[in-house]
Amino acid sequence: MALQETVQRCAVLGQPIAHSLSPVLHMAAYQALGLQDWVYDRREVSQEQLPSFLRELDPNWRGLSLTMPLKQTILPFGQLRDAWSQELRVANTAVFDWNAENEPKINLYNTDVEGIVKAFEHAWHQYETLPSVSMAISSEHRERAAIIGNGNTASSAMAACTAMAQHGISGITVLARHPDKNPFISEIAARHGMQCEVVPLAQACEVLTSSAMVISTLPAHAADPIADALASSGVKCAGSLLDVAYDPRPSRLLTAWEGCGGLGIGGEEMLLYQAIKQVHLITGCEEALEFHVEQAMRSALEEAL
């Protein structure tokens, strides 16, 4: 399609960005919604380049997805509009509201937390139709969640765990190479009335096998030693584990977890559900939340992976 002034533009920004699958997801959604004049691409933008990039935008721009390292860099340029972006001080979505003088008001949101929650809920719904998967959790551990890592992504993971109180989660263990780093994570749990402890990664096998819900926030391959320890330990896992890394797919950690009897959830599920909410926010289309749009986005993602 030839680009014209009427084209509604969106993009994902970050550095590096060539690997991003966001264009695949968003373009599939636009097609399913009949938004033929909407386009979405990748833009390599550093922290230093972000101010000039924003200044050069025109009213054809409708919104942005923000990945590392821009999720906090964007904050001074907009207003935090949802509870999680306000609490975490992290935004992955910018929606433009242009005035008559062609100056944008930038509304910022965090859809990462919802992406994590929806990834688990979808997997649990699927599990209900798969009785061959054993998910028996002893009553003393049924309320426990675990997070592997305590970096930036772990903050969204902790927020998601607190949102899982509706599913019975009441306590969280964080496994970290440097347990004293990032005390903000424990503060998130405390604000939501959750018990939280931070322990060394050396306790991974013990903690993970007694957790109903696990989120690995480590980069690709960083969790491989934990995977190898699980695989060689002979332990049984009965909980659900989401690995936010989706390349390679499946990760060694997911393979080991499923080999021990647990339910594995690939990071592409989080990617899908955070993108669905982004499309809803940026386009303003309520239809973006309907099942047929999710199916179109899922099919496009599966084809791209």
Domain segments of the chain: what residues?
8-111+269-304, 134-261
For domain 134-261, give the fold: Rossmann fold (3.40.50)
The predicted pLDDT at position 136 comes to 43
Describe the strand order of the beta sheet including 263-266 as a list of residue ranges: 195-200, 171-176, 144-148, 213-216, 240-243, 263-266
Q: Are strands 171-176 and 195-200 parallel, antiparallel or unpaired?
A: parallel
Assigned CATH for 8-111+269-304: 3.40.50.10860
| CA–CA separation, 297 and 225 (whole Å) | 33
- Our CA angle for 76, 78, 79, nearest 5°, is 110
Q: At what angle do helices 112-127 and 267-283 cross, to 10 degrees?
A: 120
Q: Are domains 8-111+269-304 and 134-261 of this chain identical in fold?
A: yes
Amino acid letter for position 154: A
Q: Looking up tokens 């009965």, which residue turns up?
A: 238
List per-residue pLDDT tens for the chain, 305 residues long: 444 558 999 999 999 999 999 999 999 999 999 999 999 999 999 999 999 999 999 999 999 999 999 999 999 999 999 999 999 999 999 999 998 788 899 999 999 999 999 999 999 988 875 434 444 444 445 589 999 999 889 999 999 999 999 888 989 999 999 988 888 999 999 999 999 999 999 999 999 999 999 999 999 899 999 999 999 998 888 899 999 998 888 999 999 999 999 999 999 999 999 999 999 999 999 999 999 999 999 999 999 99
Contact 253, 216 (CB under 8 A): yes
Structure tokens belonging to residue 132: 């061959």
